[in-house]
Amino acid sequence: MKALIYEGPRVMNMGEADIPEPKADELLVRVAYAGICGSELGGYLGHNSLRKPPLIMGHEFTGIVERAGSRALDWQPGDRVVVNPLATCGECSYCLSQREQLCESRALLGAHRPGAFAEYIAVPAGNALRLPDSISLEDGVLTEPLACAAHIGRLLQWKPQDRLLIYGAGPIGLFVLAAARMGGLQEIVIVDINEERLAIASAMGGQGAVAAEGEFNAAVDAVGASVTRQRCVEAVRSGGKVVFTGLHEADSLLPINDIIRREITCRGAFAYAPQDFTAALDWLEQGRVDLSSWMRVLPLEQGAAGFETLLGSPGGIAKILLKP
């Protein structure tokens, strides 16, 4: 099968790979569309320790079941699926307490095992969800990044009267904005230096800005830079909450004394639990989120160019999907 293979920092080429053989409890899925994630941009640059070349990336995807393993009895060839790419053990204390994203045996498709930037991918049958007929294969790709936003909302436990700050108007930041709007929040400021991304944020009901003003009940850093992490802490009022979800810089200095004295709650947000993935799929089915006008589809062969576009001047593009 053809595949887009990451071979080193800023080196990604088309190549040939064996069609994976699904295990008894797995599905062989013919990939329909696969999105480029911000974390994969870091991997492409060589800044992400999870993604080691040679590797087939891709963890945001939809597809069609090609073949089901002998124990995957609920699935038939032709079924449309969206896949939770975070495979977990199902037996540890985290998995048994609905915090599967913390499973110490977790394995991410597209990082720990071959991903969806290829014609076919083998996935655990338990991680596949049926894609409702009302959701296109293109829009279904958005389930995964939207699940990240659903998880952040659960962690923050925001209230309609809260004032929320978001750093970064990339896909995760925009989806946090969408989730907050669905949560009833009216005052949502999203900060970015890209005016076209800020225009998208404004169209989605946020207040686009190049700098934050005033105090906030909560802040989300969807960039992952030291400066944005620090500014999130500085922007929240005493007793406020900060969630760090951007995975760019590995280490950052934070004003710990200020955090202590003002009793600011800081926590990380990694991926999602299955309940967040299901919530995201429900939102898409209900038509409550629509980024279709800001998505672009490219053939898999142009994948490297898609990465460079997102790193350079993405303009009004919020998400690039690759089609094998």
DSSP state of 131: P
What domain count does the chain have? 2
- Structural domain boundaries enclosing 195: 156-268
What is the reported pLDDT for 109?
98
246 in the same domain as 299: no
User: Could you tell me the CATH number of the domain that includes residue 35?
Assistant: 3.90.180.10
Asked whether residue 278 is assigned to any structural domain, the reply reads no
6 in the same domain as 71: yes
User: Could you tell me the CATH number of the domain that includes residue 169?
Assistant: 3.40.50.720
What is the reported pLDDT for 239?
98
State which of 236, 253, 268 marks the end of a domain: 268
What is the reported pLDDT for 265?
98
223 in the same domain as 303: no
Asked whether residue 165 is assigned to any structural domain, the reply reads yes
CB-CB contact of 151 with 271 (8 Å): yes
Asked whether residue 264 is assigned to any structural domain, the reply reads yes
What is the reported pLDDT for 248?
84
What is the reported pLDDT for 141?
98
Helix axes 143-156, 171-182, angle to 10 degrees: 60
Tens digits of pLDDT across the chain (324 residues): 999 999 999 999 999 999 999 999 999 999 999 999 988 998 999 988 789 999 999 999 999 999 999 999 999 999 999 999 999 999 999 999 999 999 999 999 999 999 999 999 999 999 999 999 999 999 999 999 999 999 999 999 999 999 999 999 998 999 999 999 999 999 999 999 999 999 999 999 999 999 999 999 999 999 999 999 999 999 999 999 999 999 888 899 999 999 999 999 999 999 999 999 999 999 999 999 888 888 999 999 999 999 999 998 787 898 999 999
